[in-house]
Amino acid sequence: MSVLLGFAVGLLAVRLLVGAGHDLLRAPTLERPNRHGRTVPTAMGVLAVLAVVLVEAGRSLLGAFGVGEAPGDAARLLVLVACVGFGLLGLLDDVAGTQSDHGFRGHLGSLFSHGRITTGLVKIVGGGALAVVLVSAGRAAVVSGAGVASGASVSGARVVTDALLVALAANMTNLFDRAPGRAIKVGLVAWLPIALVARADSVGVAVAPVVGAFAGLLGDDLHERLMLGDAGSNVIGAVLGLAVVLECSPATRTIVLAVLVAFTLASELFSFSRVIERVSVLRRLDELGRGA
């Protein structure tokens, strides 16, 4: 499967789920007021996760019958685990979380000051643990244009820094999910250089359906017919972070990690939304395609 075909299949799969998911979209448990006070179903990023599961099931089944790629590709499995794992952690926060605590400081403050474990803290710890598992398995493989071959070793320090990259990437897209369509736009922009580097290798092909599925939700997100929630914004960030870990050199990963750390620290000090509103170019890009 090529990157473009994978993107298109992911987009088509999520559109079919949106069309068939009327009851899910109306579930009272998932309804939340958006920035305009309009009641909108949240956590709809779970539809993109389900779309990826269906796509991978189809690819595996066809591969078992000798059509397309053979089943068992390591990159595809890692991306699928990232989607499901970060999707579940995000869904927990969407359904059971509160608006009283925000950011790392808020969740840690709630723990140390009040002895209270928030769903956000569960997401942070669980996401970090999942990231460690993913990068440990991923860096135990050598990613090349021909595919994934096992046997590469990786230091403990590199596992920690790569896991931090994946976890912070998941958090970063969540930080941008403060206006309709913004998180998906950021994800699409971030995916372009990764796609150019990966091209049609195993990582590029594994990530394409994920990005396609989220692109398929962009119109509904922009027009406020649904909200991604953490079940979506965390997933696209985590998958792109994992793609960087699997595809890029240690030097590139270190640079990406430094940028993510800087943005994360900045988010504790000021609002990204206010910066976007004050910079005309960013504001126009942010509002592009948005409507009532």
Going from N- to C-terminal start, the domains of the chain cover 3-287
Beta strands in the chain (DSSP E): 31-33, 39-41, 141-144, 147-150
pLDDT class for 150, splitting at 50, 70, 90? very low
- Separation of alpha carbons 267 and 255, rounded Å: 18
**What is the pLDDT at residue 101?**
53
Given a cut of 90, whether residue 88 has pLDDT beyond it is: yes
pLDDT class for 199, splitting at 50, 70, 90? confident
- Separation of alpha carbons 114 and 77, rounded Å: 39
- Separation of alpha carbons 281 and 179, rounded Å: 16
Given a cut of 50, whether residue 146 has pLDDT beyond it is: no
What integer is the mean pLDDT of 130-147? Answer: 70
Of 10-24, 32-46, 104-118, 132-146, the one with minimum mean pLDDT is 104-118
Given a cut of 70, whether residue 139 has pLDDT beyond it is: no
pLDDT one-digit tens code per residue, 155-174: 788 999 999 999 999 999 99
Q: Which contacts (CB < 8 Å, 24+ apart) does range 188-195 have?
A: 188/214, 188/215, 188/218, 190/240, 191/240, 194/240, 194/243, 194/244, 194/247, 195/3
Do you know the residue count of the chain? 292
Q: What does the mean pLDDT of the chain come to?
A: 86
